[in-house]
Amino acid sequence: MSRSLEGRAIVITGAARGIGRECAVRFAREGADLALFDIGEDLVGVGYPLGAREQLAHTAELCEADGAAVVTAAVDVRDPTGVPAAVGAALERFGAIDGLVNNAGIAAPAGVAVHEMSEADWALMLDVDLSGAWRMIKAVAPGMVERRSGSIVNVSSTAGLVGYRHFSGYVAAKHGLIGLTKAAALDYAPHRVRVNALCPGSVRDDPLVEGRMLVEIARSLKLPDEEYEQVFLRDQPMNALVEPGDVASAALWLTGDGSCRVTGTVLTVDAGFTSR
Protein backbone atom coordinates (compact mmCIF):
# COMPACT_ATOMS: atom_id res chain seq x y z
CA MET A 1 0.00 0.00 0.00
CA SER A 2 1.50 3.32 -1.07
CA ARG A 3 2.17 6.07 1.42
CA SER A 4 1.43 9.66 0.46
CA LEU A 5 4.84 11.14 1.37
CA GLU A 6 7.05 8.25 0.32
CA GLY A 7 10.50 9.44 -0.74
CA ARG A 8 10.04 13.01 0.46
CA ALA A 9 11.99 14.96 3.06
CA ILE A 10 10.08 17.32 5.32
CA VAL A 11 11.35 19.88 7.84
CA ILE A 12 9.22 20.42 10.93
CA THR A 13 9.98 23.13 13.49
CA GLY A 14 8.75 23.00 17.05
CA ALA A 15 8.93 19.22 16.72
CA ALA A 16 9.80 18.30 20.31
CA ARG A 17 6.20 18.03 21.48
CA GLY A 18 2.59 18.99 20.84
CA ILE A 19 1.40 19.63 17.30
CA GLY A 20 4.97 19.37 15.99
CA ARG A 21 5.41 15.87 17.39
CA GLU A 22 1.99 14.79 16.12
CA CYS A 23 2.84 16.05 12.63
CA ALA A 24 6.22 14.32 12.69
CA VAL A 25 4.77 10.95 13.65
CA ARG A 26 1.94 11.23 11.13
CA PHE A 27 4.32 12.21 8.34
CA ALA A 28 6.67 9.34 9.22
CA ARG A 29 3.78 6.90 8.91
CA GLU A 30 3.14 8.30 5.45
CA GLY A 31 6.71 7.54 4.38
CA ALA A 32 8.46 10.89 4.84
CA ASP A 33 12.03 11.35 6.00
CA LEU A 34 12.27 14.13 8.52
CA ALA A 35 14.44 17.00 9.73
CA LEU A 36 13.11 17.84 13.19
CA PHE A 37 14.02 21.17 14.76
CA ASP A 38 13.31 22.63 18.19
CA ILE A 39 15.02 25.13 20.42
CA GLY A 40 16.06 22.61 23.09
CA GLU A 41 16.23 25.19 25.87
CA ASP A 42 14.14 27.82 27.62
CA LEU A 43 13.92 31.49 26.67
CA VAL A 44 14.10 34.45 29.01
CA GLY A 45 10.73 36.17 28.85
CA VAL A 46 8.72 33.03 28.13
CA GLY A 47 7.21 31.95 31.43
CA TYR A 48 7.03 28.23 30.76
CA PRO A 49 9.45 25.48 29.66
CA LEU A 50 10.02 25.15 25.92
CA GLY A 51 10.72 21.96 24.00
CA ALA A 52 13.67 20.09 25.49
CA ARG A 53 16.35 18.16 23.64
CA GLU A 54 15.18 14.97 25.33
CA GLN A 55 11.67 15.54 24.00
CA LEU A 56 13.01 16.16 20.51
CA ALA A 57 15.02 12.94 20.73
CA HIS A 58 11.86 11.07 21.76
CA THR A 59 9.98 12.46 18.76
CA ALA A 60 12.81 11.23 16.54
CA GLU A 61 12.63 7.76 18.10
CA LEU A 62 8.90 7.56 17.44
CA CYS A 63 9.43 8.51 13.81
CA GLU A 64 12.32 6.08 13.33
CA ALA A 65 10.10 3.30 14.70
CA ASP A 66 7.84 3.95 11.69
CA GLY A 67 10.78 3.63 9.30
CA ALA A 68 11.68 7.30 8.79
CA ALA A 69 15.22 8.53 8.38
CA VAL A 70 15.55 11.41 10.84
CA VAL A 71 17.94 14.24 11.57
CA THR A 72 17.46 16.56 14.51
CA ALA A 73 18.84 19.95 15.42
CA ALA A 74 18.52 22.31 18.37
CA VAL A 75 17.57 25.46 16.45
CA ASP A 76 16.43 28.86 17.66
CA VAL A 77 14.35 30.27 14.81
CA ARG A 78 15.53 33.75 15.84
CA ASP A 79 19.09 32.83 14.84
CA PRO A 80 19.97 34.07 11.31
CA THR A 81 23.00 31.77 11.13
CA GLY A 82 21.66 28.75 13.01
CA VAL A 83 18.59 28.36 10.79
CA PRO A 84 20.44 28.08 7.45
CA ALA A 85 23.07 25.85 9.06
CA ALA A 86 20.41 23.40 10.24
CA VAL A 87 18.68 23.46 6.86
CA GLY A 88 22.03 22.92 5.17
CA ALA A 89 22.64 19.82 7.29
CA ALA A 90 19.22 18.48 6.31
CA LEU A 91 19.99 19.10 2.64
CA GLU A 92 23.31 17.30 2.99
CA ARG A 93 21.53 14.29 4.49
CA PHE A 94 18.50 14.11 2.19
CA GLY A 95 19.62 15.90 -0.97
CA ALA A 96 16.48 18.03 -1.16
CA ILE A 97 13.71 19.39 1.04
CA ASP A 98 10.21 18.79 -0.26
CA GLY A 99 8.19 20.36 2.53
CA LEU A 100 8.34 22.65 5.53
CA VAL A 101 5.93 22.82 8.45
CA ASN A 102 6.59 26.12 10.24
CA ASN A 103 5.22 25.15 13.64
CA ALA A 104 7.66 26.72 16.12
CA GLY A 105 5.99 29.35 18.25
CA ILE A 106 5.40 30.74 21.72
CA ALA A 107 2.19 31.83 23.49
CA ALA A 108 3.83 34.08 26.07
CA PRO A 109 4.70 36.78 27.08
CA ALA A 110 1.01 37.69 27.16
CA GLY A 111 -1.81 38.40 29.57
CA VAL A 112 -1.61 42.21 29.61
CA ALA A 113 -3.16 45.10 27.71
CA VAL A 114 -1.35 46.56 24.71
CA HIS A 115 0.15 49.52 26.57
CA GLU A 116 1.49 47.24 29.31
CA MET A 117 3.66 45.15 26.98
CA SER A 118 7.35 45.96 27.18
CA GLU A 119 9.51 46.57 24.11
CA ALA A 120 11.39 43.36 24.86
CA ASP A 121 8.24 41.24 25.18
CA TRP A 122 6.76 42.61 21.96
CA ALA A 123 10.01 42.02 20.05
CA LEU A 124 10.39 38.48 21.40
CA MET A 125 6.89 37.43 20.34
CA LEU A 126 7.24 38.76 16.81
CA ASP A 127 10.77 37.43 16.38
CA VAL A 128 9.76 33.87 17.22
CA ASP A 129 6.22 33.62 15.85
CA LEU A 130 6.59 35.69 12.68
CA SER A 131 10.21 36.37 11.80
CA GLY A 132 11.17 32.80 12.71
CA ALA A 133 8.85 31.47 10.01
CA TRP A 134 10.27 33.98 7.53
CA ARG A 135 13.82 32.80 8.30
CA MET A 136 12.83 29.18 7.71
CA ILE A 137 11.18 30.04 4.38
CA LYS A 138 14.24 32.06 3.39
CA ALA A 139 16.41 28.99 4.04
CA VAL A 140 14.34 26.32 2.26
CA ALA A 141 12.76 28.25 -0.62
CA PRO A 142 15.80 28.57 -2.92
CA GLY A 143 16.11 24.80 -3.26
CA MET A 144 12.39 24.41 -3.84
CA VAL A 145 12.42 27.12 -6.49
CA GLU A 146 15.35 25.47 -8.24
CA ARG A 147 13.56 22.10 -8.26
CA ARG A 148 10.18 23.70 -9.08
CA SER A 149 8.50 21.74 -6.33
CA GLY A 150 7.68 22.16 -2.65
CA SER A 151 5.04 22.84 -0.04
CA ILE A 152 5.29 25.20 2.94
CA VAL A 153 2.72 25.10 5.73
CA ASN A 154 2.74 27.98 8.20
CA VAL A 155 1.00 27.12 11.46
CA SER A 156 -0.85 30.28 12.41
CA SER A 157 -3.88 30.25 14.74
CA THR A 158 -7.43 31.50 15.06
CA ALA A 159 -5.53 34.42 16.61
CA GLY A 160 -4.44 35.13 13.05
CA LEU A 161 -8.08 35.68 12.11
CA VAL A 162 -9.69 37.33 15.14
CA GLY A 163 -8.56 39.31 18.16
CA TYR A 164 -8.03 38.01 21.67
CA ARG A 165 -8.02 40.26 24.70
CA HIS A 166 -4.61 40.63 26.39
CA PHE A 167 -2.78 38.75 23.61
CA SER A 168 -1.83 41.63 21.31
CA GLY A 169 1.68 40.37 20.51
CA TYR A 170 0.49 36.87 19.70
CA VAL A 171 -2.45 38.14 17.66
CA ALA A 172 -0.25 40.55 15.71
CA ALA A 173 2.34 37.86 14.97
CA LYS A 174 -0.23 35.30 13.84
CA HIS A 175 -2.06 37.84 11.65
CA GLY A 176 1.32 38.72 10.18
CA LEU A 177 2.02 35.07 9.46
CA ILE A 178 -1.12 34.86 7.33
CA GLY A 179 0.01 37.96 5.44
CA LEU A 180 3.43 36.41 4.92
CA THR A 181 1.75 33.24 3.65
CA LYS A 182 -0.26 35.09 1.02
CA ALA A 183 2.71 37.16 -0.17
CA ALA A 184 5.02 34.14 -0.34
CA ALA A 185 2.38 32.13 -2.18
CA LEU A 186 2.36 34.75 -4.94
CA ASP A 187 6.16 34.96 -5.01
CA TYR A 188 6.57 31.22 -5.47
CA ALA A 189 3.48 30.25 -7.48
CA PRO A 190 5.33 30.60 -10.82
CA HIS A 191 7.85 28.07 -9.51
CA ARG A 192 5.17 25.57 -8.39
CA VAL A 193 6.08 26.01 -4.74
CA ARG A 194 2.97 26.24 -2.59
CA VAL A 195 2.57 28.22 0.64
CA ASN A 196 -0.48 27.85 2.87
CA ALA A 197 -1.50 28.75 6.41
CA LEU A 198 -3.10 26.45 8.95
CA CYS A 199 -5.16 28.00 11.76
CA PRO A 200 -5.86 25.68 14.68
CA GLY A 201 -8.34 26.64 17.35
CA SER A 202 -8.14 25.50 20.98
CA VAL A 203 -6.03 22.33 20.79
CA ARG A 204 -6.31 19.86 23.66
CA ASP A 205 -3.07 19.31 25.58
CA ASP A 206 -2.72 15.61 24.79
CA PRO A 207 -0.24 14.05 27.26
CA LEU A 208 0.85 11.54 24.60
CA VAL A 209 2.52 14.36 22.68
CA GLU A 210 3.34 16.36 25.83
CA GLY A 211 1.26 19.30 24.66
CA ARG A 212 0.97 22.30 26.98
CA MET A 213 0.10 25.32 24.82
CA LEU A 214 -3.54 25.53 25.91
CA VAL A 215 -2.74 25.40 29.61
CA GLU A 216 -0.15 28.15 29.21
CA ILE A 217 -2.66 30.36 27.40
CA ALA A 218 -5.08 29.64 30.25
CA ARG A 219 -2.49 30.68 32.83
CA SER A 220 -1.89 33.94 30.99
CA LEU A 221 -5.64 34.52 31.30
CA LYS A 222 -5.47 33.51 34.98
CA LEU A 223 -7.88 30.60 34.53
CA PRO A 224 -7.80 27.81 37.15
CA ASP A 225 -5.87 24.73 35.99
CA GLU A 226 -8.74 22.41 36.87
CA GLU A 227 -11.29 24.41 34.86
CA TYR A 228 -9.53 25.78 31.80
CA GLU A 229 -10.60 23.07 29.33
CA GLN A 230 -14.26 23.61 30.22
CA VAL A 231 -13.84 27.37 29.80
CA PHE A 232 -12.41 26.96 26.29
CA LEU A 233 -15.01 24.30 25.46
CA ARG A 234 -17.86 26.78 25.98
CA ASP A 235 -16.73 28.72 22.91
CA GLN A 236 -16.64 25.69 20.57
CA PRO A 237 -19.72 25.28 18.35
CA MET A 238 -18.92 21.56 17.95
CA ASN A 239 -18.66 21.20 21.74
CA ALA A 240 -15.21 19.67 21.39
CA LEU A 241 -11.62 20.85 21.58
CA VAL A 242 -9.42 20.34 18.55
CA GLU A 243 -7.14 17.30 18.82
CA PRO A 244 -3.47 17.43 17.77
CA GLY A 245 -4.28 14.74 15.22
CA ASP A 246 -6.86 17.00 13.58
CA VAL A 247 -4.17 19.60 12.94
CA ALA A 248 -1.67 17.00 11.73
CA SER A 249 -4.22 15.63 9.25
CA ALA A 250 -4.71 19.10 7.80
CA ALA A 251 -0.96 19.70 7.62
CA LEU A 252 -0.51 16.35 5.87
CA TRP A 253 -3.12 17.26 3.25
CA LEU A 254 -1.54 20.65 2.61
CA THR A 255 1.89 19.03 2.24
CA GLY A 256 0.84 16.21 -0.08
CA ASP A 257 -0.33 15.92 -3.66
CA GLY A 258 -4.02 16.04 -2.74
CA SER A 259 -3.69 19.83 -2.44
CA CYS A 260 -1.47 20.31 -5.49
CA ARG A 261 -3.44 23.35 -6.73
CA VAL A 262 -3.93 24.89 -3.28
CA THR A 263 -1.74 27.87 -2.44
CA GLY A 264 -2.18 31.12 -0.55
CA THR A 265 -5.10 29.71 1.38
CA VAL A 266 -5.97 29.67 5.07
CA LEU A 267 -7.26 26.34 6.36
CA THR A 268 -9.03 26.66 9.70
CA VAL A 269 -9.26 23.71 12.10
CA ASP A 270 -11.18 25.24 14.97
CA ALA A 271 -14.40 23.24 15.56
CA GLY A 272 -16.36 26.17 14.11
CA PHE A 273 -15.01 28.85 16.46
CA THR A 274 -14.40 31.53 13.80
CA SER A 275 -17.74 30.84 12.08
CA ARG A 276 -19.71 32.59 14.82
Q: Is the pLDDT of residue 244 over 80?
A: yes
Active-site residue, selected from the candidate residues 48, 164, 170, 188: 170
The residue type at 97: I
Percent of the chain whose pLDDT exceeds 70: 100
User: Tens of pLDDT along 250-259?
Assistant: 999 999 999 9
User: Tens of pLDDT along 6-46?
Assistant: 999 999 999 999 999 999 999 999 999 999 999 999 999 99
Q: Domain locations in the chain?
A: 8-265
Q: What is the pLDDT of residue 113?
A: 97
pLDDT band at 219 (very low <50, low <70, confident <90, very high): confident
pTM over 0.75: yes
**Average pLDDT taken over every residue of the chain:** 95
Average pLDDT rounded to a whole number, residues 242-251: 96
Backbone phi and psi for residue 266, each to the nearest 5 degrees, phi listed first: -120, 115
pLDDT band at 1 (very low <50, low <70, confident <90, very high): low
Q: What is the pLDDT of residue 224?
A: 83
Q: What is the pLDDT of residue 116?
A: 97
Q: Is the pLDDT of residue 151 over 60?
A: yes
The question of whether 170 is a catalytic residue gets the answer yes
β-pairing, 99-102 vs 33-38, is unpaired
Pure H helices in 189-243: 213-220, 228-233
Tell which residue, 46, 276, 254, has the closest CA to residue 162. Answer: 276
Q: What is the pLDDT of residue 248?
A: 98
| Superfamily grouping for domain 8-265 | NAD(P)-binding Rossmann-like Domain (3.40.50.720)
Average pLDDT rounded to a whole number, residues 133-155: 98
For residues 99 and 256, give the distance between their C-alpha atoms in angstroms, rounded to a whole number.
Answer: 9
Percent of the chain whose pLDDT exceeds 90: 86
Q: Is the pLDDT of residue 221 over 90?
A: no
Q: What is the pLDDT of residue 114?
A: 97
